[in-house]
Amino acid sequence: MFGKENRGEAGVTLVATNCELVGDIHFNDQLLINGIVKGNIYSQSGSKATVTVSEKGRVRGEIRVPNVVVNGKVFGDINSDRHVELAAKAEVKGNVYYNLIEMVMGSRVDGQLVNMRDVKKSAKAVEGKTGANSDKAVSEKSETINTPQVAAVSSTVK
């Protein structure tokens, strides 16, 4: 049933509308959430994995997946090293860390939008500094990473 011939194929995991899943999810390929997830959602960084939260879908926890599509509600941070799409009925209460983001009219983010390229540039700039006091350099690095250029958003895109 689960022989070698199925190992290379992509799979779709569905959390149906009549389902509430409590706990963390680790997946590959595609995850479609039509129901409720109370836990964190993870996938391998740099992969082609995609999580989609449909209009009826709800997530209470962190999403750390390369590709994220939201049209429902997410209560927690979104971390994507590739692409985030916030559709017309998306509501995010948390920070969104992204490399590329699409926000459709009507989507809502109550948190910060943080471009990961700015965070990486800030970290590299601090690493390039040399000083006599290494504790000071570590302190500067922490401050730089925690305060990248961000956009604080608490309104609906119109």
Has residue 107 been placed in a domain?
yes
Task: Using alpha carbons, list the distances in angstroms from residue 112 to 94, 132, 152.
Answer: 7, 35, 4
Token code pair at residue 24 = 């963390």
Has residue 151 been placed in a domain?
no
Has residue 121 been placed in a domain?
no
Has residue 125 been placed in a domain?
no
Each as own residue / partner, the long-range contacts of residues 99-105 (CB below 8 Å, 24 or more positions apart, any chain) are 103/157, 104/157, 105/157, 105/158
**What is the reported pLDDT for 145?**
39
How many domains does one find in the chain? 1
Has residue 15 been placed in a domain?
yes
Has residue 39 been placed in a domain?
yes
**What is the reported pLDDT for 73?**
98
DSSP code of 144? H
Q: What pTM did the predictor assign? A: 0.73
Query: How does strand 36-38 pair with strand 12-15?
Result: unpaired
Rounded Cα–Cα distance for residues 123 and 51 (Å): 28
The predicted-structure confidence for 28-66, as pLDDT tens digits, reads as follows 999 999 999 999 999 998 899 999 999 999 999 999 999
Region of 145 on the Ramachandran plot (φ > 0 left; ψ -120 to 50 alpha; else beta)? alpha
Domain that holds residue 45: 4-115
**What is the reported pLDDT for 158?**
54
The predicted-structure confidence for 98-157, as pLDDT tens digits, reads as follows 999 999 999 999 999 999 887 766 666 677 664 444 454 444 443 333 434 444 455 455
